[in-house]
């Protein structure tokens, strides 16, 4: 197992008090206690035990280069120069029993498997961080993870005092387990308290996220628009090998049946239309970005305009109602849209060879619309991008779309709001 040690200490990243490391969960432990625990911690022994008892996770973890470092207060995964890196602070990991140490490694392995650290980061990044942790931690046993982590359906270990943080903690406590990261992201972004927090300084947002709970570091995720094709292909190859080996030898270990299905779909490139639709709604939160001189550019202050994001999406949904689409398919699709309408508004249009603009309607947030059919002709998937007549608030033909067998979805253009 490849392992490296970094001796540099970044005081802006490692949580400290008077120059000494303070454990994020066990604040009462002295530096001497932490050093003794770290000295007895053997990362290789932990990973070997994980590979023996959890072969699926072990297969993924063995593709990481392991880096011992004080530059982060916890642990984390990232991609550096096309290599997968696992960073870990011995003062953090050493304080936990073996079961939790292995649980942290499972958590990091799933970040790679679900491609959280290899795709373009969602903004604001701290909200996406919470969403990915909620998706992963909800699928693992709570007793194998640090109590400072975020868990759907559970309040944070340390009750936050800031009013907005308390309101977000209330929201998380009501969330169900088993959702995708994009769904948790959408739920969080729907919160007025999150929207208020986004308007505050970066320092405030960082402090708020840490007050809610943070068990690992995501700081190096998605620094570019997308990781290159080689990295994406490597992730799929690693995951496919792990999935096929687990299936062939019945060695999934503690991986749940529902997660196995999700991992198989990712590994084999299968498209789950429900997940695709949910992901698209989540992506819509980050799709409307403009520049403005009223905001400071973080990288080039005073030289370039800053960024403004309109974080309330509207989505136009074009439902294929050609003769080849059965009524049962339409009922399934309307049902899924009903769940997503709890988070945002939809413009709904029917189409076959042309768009039925006369019967376009707004699916208001929190309402229900019964399945209906107004078309029965052939199919022309170019029709939604070239509406036959003016739509109340539909997208123009220049807006790129996302097509599936049931619908063509795209963000409503800013000019049409």
* 300-315 residue pLDDT tens: 676 667 766 555 556 7
- So what's the pLDDT on residue 90? 94
Q: Which domain holds residue 380?
A: 313-416
Among 196, 212, 228, give the residue marking a domain's end.
212
Between CA 372 and CA 44 the distance in angstroms is 59
Let me know if residue 207 belongs to a domain: yes
Q: Say if residue 59 is in the same domain as residue 190.
A: yes
pLDDT tens, position by position, 366-387: 777 778 888 887 777 777 776 4
- Residues 6 or more apart in contact with residue 32 via CB below 8 angstroms: none
The helix (H) or strand (E) run that includes residue 198 is helix 192-198
pLDDT tens, position by position, 121-141: 677 888 989 999 999 999 999
The b-or-e profile of 218-257 (16+ CB within 10 A means b, else e) is: bebbbeeeebeeebeebbbebbbebbeebeeeebbeebee
* DSSP track, 386-407: S-SS--SSPPPTTS--EE-SSE
330 — phi, psi (to 5°)?
A: -65, -40
- So what's the pLDDT on residue 216? 83
Q: Say if residue 168 is in the same domain as residue 58.
A: yes
pLDDT tens, position by position, 128-179: 899 999 999 999 999 999 999 999 999 988 888 889 999 999 999 999 998 8
Q: How many CA atoms lie within 13 A of 118 on its CB side?
A: 23
The b-or-e profile of 297-334 (16+ CB within 10 A means b, else e) is: eeeeeeeeebeeeebebbbbbbbbbbeebeeebbeebb
| Residue 262: band (very low, low, confident or very high) from pLDDT cuts 50, 70, 90 | confident
Let me know if residue 270 belongs to a domain: no
Among 177, 212, 247, give the residue marking a domain's end.
212
Between CA 109 and CA 333 the distance in angstroms is 33
Let me know if residue 294 belongs to a domain: no
Domain tally for the chain? 2
The answer to whether the pTM exceeds 0.85 is no
Q: How many CA atoms lie within 13 A of 202 on its CB side?
A: 7
Q: Is 77 helix (H, G, I), strand (E, B) or coil?
A: strand
Let me know if residue 205 belongs to a domain: yes
Q: Say if residue 334 is in the same domain as residue 196.
A: no
Let me know if residue 237 belongs to a domain: no
Query: Which is more confident, 385 or 289?
Result: 385
| CB distance 168 to 193 below 8 Å | yes
- So what's the pLDDT on residue 183? 84
Say what angle helices 273-284 and 181-189 make with each other, to 10 degrees.
Answer: 40
Among 160, 179, 212, give the residue marking a domain's end.
212
The mean pLDDT of the chain is: 78
DSSP code, position 74: S
| CB distance 347 to 412 below 8 Å | yes
Structure tokens at 112: 């790679």
Let me know if residue 59 belongs to a domain: yes
Let me know if residue 117 belongs to a domain: yes
Let me know if residue 290 belongs to a domain: no
Structure tokens at 193: 């308290």
């Amino acid at each position: 197992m490849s392992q490296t040690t970094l001796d540099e200490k970044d005081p802006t990243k490692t949580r400290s008090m008077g120059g000494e490391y303070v454990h994020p969960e066990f604040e009462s432990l002295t530096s001497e206690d932490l050093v003794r625990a770290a000295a007895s911690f053997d990362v290789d022994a932990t990973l070997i035990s994980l590979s023996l008892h959890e072969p699926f996770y072990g297969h993924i973890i063995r593709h990481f280069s392991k880096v011992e470092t004080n530059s982060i207060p916890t642990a984390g995964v990232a991609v550096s120069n096309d290599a997968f890196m696992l960073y870990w602070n011995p003062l953090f990991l050493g304080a936990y029993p073996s079961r939790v140490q292995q649980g942290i490694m499972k958590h990091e392995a799933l970040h790679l498997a679900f491609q959280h650290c290899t795709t373009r980061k969602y903004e604001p990044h701290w909200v996406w961080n919470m969403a990915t942790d909620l998706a992963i931690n909800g699928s693992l046993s709570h007793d194998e993870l640090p109590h400072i982590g975020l868990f759907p359906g559970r309040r944070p270990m340390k009750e936050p005092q800031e009013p907005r943080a308390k309101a977000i903690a209330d929201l998380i406590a009501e969330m169900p387990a088993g959702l995708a990261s994009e769904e948790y992201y959408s739920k969080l972004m729907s919160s007025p308290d999150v929207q208020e927090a986004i308007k505050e300084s970066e320092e405030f947002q960082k402090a708020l996220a840490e007050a809610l709970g943070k068990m690992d570091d995501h700081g190096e995720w998605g620094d570019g628009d997308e990781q290159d094709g080689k990295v994406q292909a490597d992730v799929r190859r690693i995951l496919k090998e792990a999935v096929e080996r687990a299936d062939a030898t019945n060695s999934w270990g503690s991986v749940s049946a529902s997660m196995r299905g999700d991992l198989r779909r990712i590994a084999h490139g299968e498209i789950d239309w429900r997940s695709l639709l949910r992901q698209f709604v989540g992506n819509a939160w980050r799709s409307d970005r403009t520049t403005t001189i009223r905001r400071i550019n973080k990288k080039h202050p005073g030289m370039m305009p800053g960024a403004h994001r309109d974080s309330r999406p509207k989505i136009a949904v074009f439902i294929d109602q050609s003769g080849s689409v059965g009524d049962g398919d339409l009922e399934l699709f309307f049902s899924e849209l009903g769940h997503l309408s709890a988070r945002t508004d939809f413009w709904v249009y029917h189409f076959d060879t042309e768009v039925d603009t006369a019967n376009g309607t707004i699916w208001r947030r929190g309402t229900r619309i019964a399945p209906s059919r107004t078309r029965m002709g052939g199919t022309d998937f170019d029709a939604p991008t070239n509406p036959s007549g003016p739509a109340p608030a539909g997208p123009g033909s220049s807006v790129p779309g996302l097509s599936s067998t049931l619908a063509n979805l795209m963000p409503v253009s800013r000019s049409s709001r």
